[in-house]
Every structure is written in structure tokens, then in C-alpha cells.
Structure 1
Amino acid sequence: MRIVDVAEFYSPTGGGVRTYIDRKFEAAAQLGHELFVIAPGPCDGFEPRAAGGVIQVRAPRLPFDANYHMFWDADPVHRQLDFLTPDLVEASSPWRGAGIVASWEGPVPRAMFMHADPVASYPQRWLAPIATPQRIDQLFGWFWSYLRRLAGGFGSVVAGGPWLADRLTGQGVGAVASVPLGIDRGAFSPGKRDAALRSRLLAACACPDDARLVLGVGRFHPEKRWPMVIEATMRARADAPIALVLIGDGVDRARVARAAAGNPHVRILPPIRDRDLLAAHLASADLLVHGCESETFGLIPAEAMASGLPVVGPDRGGFAHLAQPATSEIYRAGDTGSAAAAIRRLLARDPGLLRASAITAAARVRRDIDHFADLFDHYGAVAAGARA
């Protein structure tokens, strides 16, 4: 099957969507499919990949994030779709790219993959002090109405996990399918624990070798709540020596840096693109703290779990579905005090028993090749249904 993904938020310097699509190329080659990605960029171009390639269409830069560009004209994308003659077209955002796919006149089935929940990511976070999530959904009924209309132009709306599938179905979006994401489990393992790396990270945070090493990994974006993670971890430090290492970068870097300023026990590292090195960091820590309550799946928590690393995370979003009581603690989303208490609870557990439970749980984390096999099978069924 030839699949063309019109990917509005694919960028070489992007975050989770880039990681996901890069891995999708590998999986498509492994499973015998062709995959082409049409993405906006600074100029027209083509980058060959396993099983296909990335077609870059010249487009203006996104005003609020220099990592990305935004589709503008539909014609260049429609010409590429005409030329490629796909078996199925995927739109991997609900914005301009999806509108361009929906307006294409080609007689080809199409699906929309929802990588995020915009209402949970933004207004539910902004307005949390003054309104409940349910009330905010009502206030942004115009978005859900827009999404319901948009979804009418697609044969399927795919969610990367049950949390988002339930959200979409609850708002009346039709033809929703849950195809849970997964990770490259072979790249992450408790066996990649590195005592020397652990000692260096603790020393960089002015902590002795017997301190507890806490990690935070991901884009520096307001929805990730890194300043809250820093404050919560440092509150928990009142009970025991803790070092916090944040790995990432992004549009919120200045606010993250201010939250960590002057604290010798917090260290900020740039993004780690080397998967083996990231796996060693995860396996060498004592705890991962996750702050985002609007992620559809939670790739970093899943990679941490596959590394045998216990996780503290919020009670909403994809992580809440991944969390296992033997290796996780849950806190009220966006609540610094609740997060600090969850960190204390996890660190108060017996370290040996906790790590043994985490290693056992690592084997149950879903593999990404299983996700992609299910996704491509689903797309095949959508295409077959359209032909019938």
C-alpha cells in the first residue's frame, strides 16, 4: 500500500511528531509499504527515506515557533497528491493540512491522525484556575463543532491511545479508531544502566552518589509544565537529597531557565538525539517526572518504563492509561503540591523492590512496530471499505 501523510507539523528540528514519523518510515519499509510525507518547509525539496521520502513544500514560517512552517496554498500539495496516486492519504493534524486533504478532488480514501488534543493542551491549561475541564470544553464548543464537520471528510479519525479516543467520541466526532502508540522497545532496557554516567549527572547537580537522580525529558513548551516540575521536585528535596536533570529545548526555554536559575541541584541538558545515549540516561536514573496532562499517549513515560524507570505523572492524559501502580504515582494535573507529594511517595518506597517491579513492567510496554502494523492494517481496511 502507498500512503501519503500530509504532515503539517513535521520538521527536522521538531519534537514528538518528527520522532514518530521518522520511525514510521522504518516500520513501513519493514512491513512492505510505501510512505511519502508532504511537509511545509523553507523551500521545495525531496529527501529520500526508507520506503519513500519527505517532500518539502515551500511555505511561510509559523509565527510563534521557528521550528515549523505552515501550509498556505493548497495547489502544491494537491499536485503532489495527483502525482503520487496514493492508496490512502493521511492528514496528521486537524488544521490547514487537513483542510487541504479534505478539499483534494482525488478519488482516494483518507484518514486523519490526531497527534494532540488542542483544547486539553491550551485552554484547559490556561483556564484551569477558574473553570473545570468540562466547562472549558463547553466554552470551546466551536472547536468541537469544527472538528466534527472536518471529520466528515475522512473515512477514519485515528487516536494514538484510548484517552484521546474517548475524548473525541465524547464530543461527537465520528469514525474514531484507537490505535495505541508504542516505542522502540529494543532501544530501551534496564540493562543500559550506566553507573559512571549516573555519578557524573549527580556531580553536575552538586549531589553525592547516594542522592536520588530525577529526570525530566521533552520539549520545553508550556504544556509540559517544566517550571512546575522543577518546583515540585525541589519541594520533595526537603525530605532527601535529590538531583533534577532536565533534557530538552524549545520555545519555553527562557521560562524553564528562570525556574532553575541559581539552583545548583538542577541541571539543564540539550536534547539527546542519540537513542542509545538517551536510553542510558533513562536507565541510570531513579525516577522520571512527567508534567503534561494533554499528551495522547506519553512516549517518554513509556520509554522510561521500558528502561525500568519508575514514573510520576498527572491523572489526566495518556500517561494515566500507561501508569502501573507497582511502578508509578499519580498526582492532580497542574498541582505542584500534589506532584511533590507523589514524588515523595515514590521515593519512600523500597528502592530494590521498586526497581524490580519496574524491570518486570518494562516487558509489558507496547512495541512501536505493533502500533504501525495495526495502523497500516487499519488503513488497508479503510481503503478496502472505500473501494467497496
Structure 2
Amino acid sequence: MRIVDVAAFYTPFGGGVKTYIERKLLAGPAAGHEIIVIAPGPGYRVEDRGPGARIVYLKDPQFPLDRRYHYFRDVETLHATLDQLAPDIVEASSPWRSARFVGEWPGKAPRALIMHADPMSAYAYRWFDPIASRPVIDRAFGMFWRHLQRMDQLFDGAITTGEDQTNRLLAGGMTRVITNPMGVQPGIFSPAYRDEGLRARLLARCALDPSATLLLGAGRHGPEKRWPMVIEAVTAAGVHAPVGLIIAGDGRDQARVVAAAAENPHVHLISPISDRHEVARLFASCDALIHGCEAEVFCTVGGEARAAGLPLIMPDRGGAADHARLADGWLYASADPRSAAKAILDFIAAPREAVRARALEHARNVRTIDEHFADLFAYYEKLVANPVVDRSRPPVG
């Protein structure tokens, strides 16, 4: 198949979408498929990624809120590029205007909407959960749900990476949603990389001795990650048991994270680590992963922690919760530091050897990103053979 991915949020400067697409550019040709990514950029150019893989950049404006990104504005050029490429199937990897552009392209190829983002959880629910119920919030954001219902008519299928998001999209009126869980890069994370010396040094940075519990937080410093809430929970748990927290990451919310950590000597912030094998050693050398974000569709860090043999302490919604349930982890009420503190203490009170043995067993069964792509390509082959949308007639709605 010739698979064309219209990737509104691809940028060569990094990010989760880039990581995902880079792997797909390898996995597609390895499976006998051609992968072409169309991305907005500062000018037209084609980037060859070897046999069966390339990125086509179209000239489009910079995104005003983040200058690393551009956004599709020239729909005529995008449609002409799709006509020229003649894909067997088209992906849209953002639910916003680029999805509408792809959905309204007059070509006959089937198309799939990849839900890499969960805007309602990342923004609307995070902002208004404290003051309104979910049904009230959904009604207030009815325009977004009507947009998704329209996309449901234009696309042959929508793909999420977690059951939580799938269920909410179906409840919101979409009808062609499937779940294809993502996975971790194989051969990187393993419990075998556990280093007790590193663990002791990290605890020393937290002003604690090796008898304490070492928790790991990893990820971008953004408001939706809720690191100040995690720090508050660890601080509360620390009143009852010695517990240290290492947070690896940076980002635009860093000043708030630094301020939250300043009053607790048992919280230590470190910069992101670019060497993946060093990341794997860090993961394997901690006692558990704690996460604060309930808005992630897959939560890659949760999968990586499972592969490293770490128990999980996670919010009860989103992709993070999916990982915790698969790994028999500890769940707490999303955005609630008191509930998170209780989950930390429940983890500490559990028999350590039994918890460790269970985590090691789960580490053997973590899904890989290559398994995700194998299932994705098989699904696309079915859509190519039997499209859902009849494009000989204009769509309803």
C-alpha cells in the first residue's frame, strides 16, 4: 500500500508525533508498504528517508503559539499534492482543520483519523472539572463534538491508542472508532538495567538513604502534566514514610515545577536525558513510576516504565490508567493530591518482593510499537479492500 500521512503536528524539532512518525517511516517499508508524510513547513521540499519512505513539506505559515510548528492553510495545494501522490489510504493525524481538509479531499482513497491528541482532556476537562460535571462541559463544547461527528461521516475509521478515549468518542456520537494500543520501542527498556548504585546516588540527591522509596516522574513540564500536584502528593506521603522523587524533564511550565519542588529537599529535578540507554537505566533503577497527567491518549512513559519492570502509580483516567490496570498498579483520583498521597503510601506498604516479582512478570508482556504498526497496516488493508464511506455520493451532514 501507499500510505500518506497528513501530519499537521510533525516538526523536525522533536515531540511525540515526530517519534511516532520516525518509527513508522521504518516499519512501513519493512512490511512492504510505502510511507509518505505530508507536513507543513517553511517551504516546499522533499526529504528522502530511504526506499519507500519520504517526507513532503508544503509551504505554510508558522503556528503563532509555538514557532517550531507550522500549520496547513493552503488547502488547494494540499489537495493537489494528494492527487499527485495517488495514495491507497490517507491518514490525518490531528483532529483539527487538517482533518477537515483531508476529509473533504475529493479523491477516492479511504482515510483514517488518528487521534494522537485528546483535546477535551488536555484542556476542557482539566480547566472545568473542578466546577462542572462532564456532561455540562461536553454541552458547553458541543461545537467540538459536532466537528468530530462530521469527521466520523468523512472518514472510514478513527483510531485511538486507549480504551478510555475510544469509549468517550463513541459516547460523543462517533461510530467508527477502534482502539489500537501503541507500544514501546523494542530492545531499549529492561529490568536488567537496574543499578543499585545509581539508585543510592539518586536517593542521596533527595537527602535520603537507600532504605527510602525512590519514585520517578518523567515528562515534559506542561500544565496538563500536573507536576506540582505530584510533588504535593509526595510531600504529604513523606510525612508518614521516607520517600524521594526524581523528575526528569523540562518545558514551559518549568518555573512552577521548580517553585513547587523548592520547599521539599526530597524532590530532585534533572534535565531530560537524550541517551535512550541511560533513560532505560534510570527507569529500571527506581522503585515506581508516578504520573500526574490524565489527558494522554497512550502515555508512552507508562509503557516504558512497565517494560523496565517498574510498578505504576497513576491517575484513574486516560492512557496512564490503562497502563496501571494492565500492570496491577495503583490508581488515584485524577488531579487529587490527597488521593495520590494515599496511593503512594499503599504502594510503600505493599510487600516489596511480591510487588517486584509481579512487575518483572508484567515487563515480559509489554506491547511494542512494531506490534502497533503491524495491526495498523492490517486494518488499513481491510479498509482499502472494503472502504466504509461511499465516495460516489456526497457525505451526509
Do they fold alike, i.e. is TM over 0.5? yes
Partner residue in 1 for 2:15: 15
Question: Are the equivalent residues in 2 in contact too, given 1:302–1:365 (CA < 8 A)?
Answer: yes
Q: Secondary structure at the match of 1:216?
A: strand
> What secondary structure is seen at the aligned counterpart in 2 of 1:186?
coil
Cα distance in structure 2, aligned partners of 1:177 and 1:326: 22
Question: Is the 8 Å Cα contact of residues 214 and 244 (structure 1) preserved in structure 2?
Answer: yes
Distance 1:245 1:40 in 2: 37
**1:297 alignment partner, SS class:** coil
Secondary structure of 1:375 counterpart = helix
Letter in 2 for 1:78: H
1:321-369, Cα deviation, whole Å (9 max, x unpaired): 2224874110001101101111111112122221111000112222221
Whether 1:267 aligns to 2:274 is no
Structure 2 equivalent of residue 193 of structure 1: 194
Residues 98/166 of structure 1: CA separation in 2 closer, same or farther (3 Å cut): same
Q: Which residue of structure 1 lines up, in the alignment, with residue 283 of structure 2?
A: 282
When residues 268 and 42 of structure 1 are mapped into structure 2, their CA distance, relative to the original with a 3 A threshold, is farther
Q: CA–CA distance in 1 between the matches of 2:195 and 2:68?
A: 33
Q: Report Cα offsets for 1:31-60 as digits up to 9, x if no partner.
A: 221111112233433333254122222332
Aligned equivalents of 1:22 and 1:213: distance in 2? 33
Please report the TM-score for the alignment, with normalisation by the length of structure 1.
Answer: 0.94
| Runs of at least 5 residues in structure 2 that lack an aligned partner in the other structure | 391-397
User: 2-side partners of 1:48 and 1:252: how far apart?
Assistant: 36
Following the alignment from structure 1 to structure 2, what is the Cα–Cα distance between the partners of residues 347 and 112? 42
Look up the SS of the partner of 1:149 in the other structure: helix
Secondary structure, in 3 states, of the residue corresponding to 1:183? coil
Corresponding position of 1:359: 360
Question: For 2:204 and 2:30, how far apart are their aligned partners in 1?
Answer: 42
Say if 2:217 and 2:245, in contact at 8 Å, map to a contact too. yes
Match of 1:255 in 2: 256
Distance 2:327 2:374 in 1: 29
Determine the C-alpha separation between the residues in 1 that align with 2:224 and 2:72.
Answer: 24
What residue in structure 2 maps to residue 6 of structure 1?
6
| 1-structure distance, mates of 2:35, 2:88 | 10
SS in 2 for 1:333: coil
Verify the 8 A CA contact 1:185 1:367 in the aligned structure 2.
Answer: yes
Do 1:15 and 1:219's aligned partners in 2 also have CA atoms closer than 8 Å?
no
Aligned to 1:89: 90
Q: Partner of 2:395 in structure 1?
A: none
Aligned with 1:173: secondary structure? Answer: coil
Partner of 1:151: 152
- How far residue 381 of structure 1 moved from its aligned partner, in angstroms, is 0.9
In the alignment, what sits opposite 2:41? 41
Partner of 1:27: 27
Query: Would you say the 8 A contact 2:312–2:327 is kept in 1?
Result: no
- In 1, the alpha carbon distance for the partners of 2:270 and 2:32 equals 38
The 3-state SS of whatever aligns with 2:386 is helix
Q: Secondary structure of 2:154's match?
A: coil
Q: d(CA) in 2 for partners of 1:112 and 1:326?
A: 29
1:77 lines up with 2:78 in the alignment: yes
Distance 2:83 2:251 in 1: 36
SS of structure 2 residue aligned to 1:115: coil
Q: Is 1:121 aligned with 2:122?
A: yes
The change in CA–CA distance for 1:150 and 1:193 in structure 2 (over 3 A counts) is: same
One-letter code of the match for 1:166? N
Paired with 1:247 and 1:41, the residues of 2 have a C-alpha distance of 30
Which stretch has the larger CA shift, 151-160 or 320-329?
A: 320-329
- Report SS of the residue matched to 2:58: strand
Alignment-derived partner of residue 59 in structure 2? 58
CA contact (8 A) 2:24 2:373 kept: yes
Equivalent AA in structure 1 for residue 2 of structure 2 = R
Per the normalisation by structure 2, the TM-score is: 0.92
In 2, distance between residues paired with 1:63 and 1:204?
A: 39
Q: What RMSD over aligned residues (CA atoms) do the two structures have, in Å?
A: 2.0
Structure 1 residue runs without a partner (length 5+): none
Q: Percent identity?
A: 48
SS of the aligned residue for 1:238 comes to coil
TM-superposed CA distance for 1:272, in Å, is: 2.5
Q: Return the alpha-carbon distance in structure 2 between the equivalents of residues 12 and 203 of structure 1.
A: 37
